Amino acid sequence: MLNMMNFLPACRRLLAVLALVAASALPAAPARAQHVVALVNGDPITAFDVEQRTKLMQVSTQKSPARQQVIEELIEEKLKIQLLKRYSIDGIDNDVDNAFANMARRTRMTPQQFAEQLARSGVSVGTLKSRIKAEITWNQIIRGKYQTSLQINEKDILAKMETRKPDEKGAVGYDYTLRPILFVIPRGAPPTAFEARRREAEALRLRFQSCDEGIAFARGLHDVAVRAITVKSSADLPPQLREILEKTEIGKLTSPEATQQGVEVYALCAKKPSASDNTPGKREAREELFSAQFQTHAKKFLKELRSQAMIEFR
């Protein structure tokens, strides 16, 4: 999974205040935009970069960061992206595009709608994608460089779980049998097409009473694809999706979600308890331990990169 858990929730806050920022967003003056404020191993950070990142941080945190804080973040971003010259990561640009699309989906928008909303706030898509690229690069390099020491053993997980509250330790996990149903939308279709297909998906939800009959009916709908059965464990799902499935009755559909291909719903066809060693509590304990070790190695490596870098302030 992409190690952007701290950044993705901020995306939801970002959309909540974009409209306020849009009213005051003004393009930077050309001369000031080209002014270099710092060089990182020869790569420039311009005044425009600082202004763009400031806007993004304001929107995502609802706070105004100090200018030096913004510059420091951009320096670290440069150092992370520059690692691509040393380490080869295949498909990095596709990963960035997919991460951007997932952000849009979490805000119930298409990538195009999300990009347009960013633009109205005065934040370029490139600013956000640069940040995403740095985090993907950093995540993969830290995982690869410290792979051995990032292994979490069962003893440590059990010890971590002992520190939790009784209701957290005893959380039951479930295996969900799902059938994805996609209301296909052609590439380049206008936003109204998504709304129309969403209404069709909602109509299907109202009449969907069982997987046997509902799936057969869905197959007869125009431009609707019923995908193969998939089984998902609650331990492998993010809390938000886990909560949705917990509230969905067997034989019913989840709420429609916009994706790159169209509007998608999931039919919940079966649900059974997971094995005792695969519960949300154990997964969360494992992730907390991994995150702590990851951050320790990441801070150490970033400090090393900065000590070796040529950083010049203008």
**Per residue in 117-156, pLDDT tens?**
888 888 899 999 999 999 999 999 999 999 888 888 777 7
As a whole number of angstroms, the distance between CA 218 and CA 181 comes to 8
Please indicate, yes or no, whether residues 128 and 23 belong to a single structural domain of this protein. Answer: yes
**CATH number for the domain including 215?**
3.10.50.40
Instruction: Examine the domain organization and report whether 69 and 24 are in the same domain.
Output: yes
Q: What is the per-residue pLDDT for 171?
A: 58
**20 and 134 share one domain:** yes
The whole-number pLDDT of residue 164 equals 67
Judge whether residue 246 has pLDDT over 50.
yes
Asked if residue 12 has pLDDT above 70, the reply is: no
The answer on 204 and 85 residing in a single domain is no
Whether 223 and 93 share a structural domain: no
The tally of CA atoms less than 13 A away on the side-chain side of residue 15 is: 16
| pLDDT digit string, tens, across residues 205-219 | 999 999 999 999 999
User: Residue 97: is its pLDDT beyond 70?
Assistant: yes
Task: Please indicate, yes or no, if residue 90 is contained in any of the structural domains.
Answer: yes
Q: Which of 18-32, 84-98, 277-291, 294-308 has the highest mean pLDDT?
A: 294-308
Distance from C-alpha of 259 to C-alpha of 14, rounded to nearest angstrom: 19
Confidence band (pLDDT; 50, 70, 90) for 28? Answer: very low
Residues 6+ apart with CB under 8 A from 177: 229, 230, 231, 268, 269, 270, 271
Per-residue pLDDT, 8: 45
**pLDDT the model gives residue 167:** 54
47 pLDDT higher than 50: yes
Parent domain of 49: 8-146
pTM of the model: 0.62
CATH of residue 13's domain is 1.10.4030.10
> Does residue 261 share a domain with residue 207?
yes
pLDDT score, position 112 = 86
- The pLDDT of residue 25 is above 80: no
Residue 290 belongs to some domain of the structure: no
Does residue 58 sit within a domain?
yes
Gap between the Cα atoms of 292 and 290, Å rounded: 5
Q: Is the pLDDT of residue 182 over 50?
A: yes
Domain for residue 261, yes or no? Answer: yes
Domain stop point among 111, 146, 181: 146
Per the prediction, the chain carries an average pLDDT of 83
Same-domain pairing of 12 and 142: yes
Query: Do 24 and 108 lie in a common domain?
Result: yes
Question: What is the per-residue pLDDT across 152-171, written as a single tens digit (0 to 9) for each?
Answer: 877 777 787 777 665 554 45
Q: Is residue 101, in this structure, part of any structural domain at all?
A: yes
In a domain, 260, yes or no: yes
Shared domain check, 267 and 231: yes
**What's CA 3's distance to the chain center, in Å?**
9
pLDDT at 165 (0 to 100): 62
Q: Looking at the predicted structure, is the pLDDT value of residue 233 above 90?
A: no
Instruction: Kindly state whether residues 211 and 127 are assigned to the same domain.
Output: no
Does residue 263 lie in a domain region? yes
Tally of structural domains, the chain: 2
Q: What is the pLDDT of residue 220?
A: 94
**What digits encode the pLDDT tens for the residues 261-270?**
899 999 999 9
128 and 251, same domain (yes or no): no
Task: State whether 192 and 259 are in the same domain.
Answer: yes
Higher-scoring residue by pLDDT: 222, 28: 222
Whether 152 maps to a domain, the answer reads: no
Q: How confident is the model at residue 29 (pLDDT cuts 50, 70, 90)?
A: very low
For 36-65, give the DSSP string: EEEEETTEEEEHHHHHHHHHHHHHHHSS--
- For the record, the structure tokens of 163 come out as 């520190």
Say yes or no to pLDDT of 26 above 90.
Answer: no
- Which amino acid is located at 228 in the chain? A
